[in-house]
Amino acid sequence: MSADADDALVGDELAMLRAHLDICADCATYQADVSSLARATRVRGATVDPGFVTTVLDRTQPARLGRGGWLRPALAWCGLLLAWQSLAPLVFGELDGTPTHIARHVGASMFALAVGLLYVAWRPHRAAGLLPLVAALLAAMLLGAVFDVLNGDRTPMSESFHVVELSGLVLLWMVAGSPGWYRVERLLRFRRGGVAPSTS
């Protein structure tokens, strides 16, 4: 009877079920209940919401490519530079006297970041999904760089290669639709005497 409710019963089995239901009142009642439940769970009334599409689109961060589409080439260039910078530590294990094993780990992280930026340059609608990972990775790298400079292990100039990574993050954020920026704009308008910022 369950298979029949799912329209999965055919042939002799269906004929046997029909014959049994003709002579068994209890099973016929149960079959009617099963069929009624199956119909109730399959068919539901649709609710029309004229603002549904607008609501969904307002909560998304569509990819933005900048005037003339310049963001994608710029992001791809950052990715290529990072891939180039990752070659020495990743392939040769060379990174300013760092142990080979550590150098290769750093190179692998840089190469993965480069691939991520290049992928978004190719598929910009993926930017919002990749942004949290890239932001966390770069924040950890920059924090480590600050500690190294403060400890005297590195100079600010020697850490300047992180500019490429920072540029890549900014470009990725822009392609992702600059999430969070509208809150800053609302706050600035409020401080200028405009409408109070929304709490949503």
**∠ CA(191), CA(194), CA(195), 5° rounding?**
110
Residues 79 and 127 in one domain: yes
Its domain, for residue 113, covers 65-186
Residues 97 and 158 in one domain: yes
Q: Model confidence at 115, in pLDDT bands (50, 70, 90)? A: very high
pLDDT score, position 75: 95
Q: What pLDDT digit, counting tens, does each position of 36-76 carry?
A: 887 777 766 667 788 887 777 666 667 778 777 899 999 99
Residues 83 and 29 in one domain: no
Assigned domain for 191 exists: no
Residues 38 and 83 in one domain: no
pLDDT score, position 122: 93
Residues 74 and 172 in one domain: yes
Residues 77 and 34 in one domain: no
Indicate if the pLDDT at residue 197 is higher than 60. Answer: no
pLDDT score, position 185: 66
Residues 29 and 108 in one domain: no
Residues 127 and 129: their CA atoms lie apart, in Å, by 5
Task: Compute the chain's Rg from CA coordinates.
Answer: 30
Residues 134 and 35 in one domain: no
Residues 116 and 163 in one domain: yes
Assigned domain for 199 exists: no
Residues 176 and 128: their CA atoms lie apart, in Å, by 5
pLDDT score, position 132: 92
Assigned domain for 120 exists: yes
Residues 30 and 75 in one domain: no
pLDDT score, position 200: 46
Assigned domain for 58 exists: no
Residues 157 and 78 in one domain: yes
Residues 161 and 122 in one domain: yes
Region for 96 from its dihedrals, namely left if φ exceeds 0, alpha if ψ lies in -120 to 50, beta otherwise: left
Decide if 106 contacts 96 (C-beta within 8 A): no
Total count of domains within the chain: 2
Share of the chain above pLDDT 90, in %: 28
pLDDT score, position 183: 67
Q: Model confidence at 148, in pLDDT bands (50, 70, 90)? A: confident
In 21-59, which positions are buried (b, 16+ CB within 10 angstroms) versus exposed (e)? beeeeeeeeebeeeeeeeeeeeeeeeeeeeeeeeeeeee
Tokens encoding 39: 């119909």
Tell me the pLDDT of the chain averaged across its residues: 83
pLDDT score, position 73: 93
Assigned domain for 23 exists: yes
Assigned domain for 92 exists: yes
Indicate if the pLDDT at residue 196 is higher than 80. Answer: no
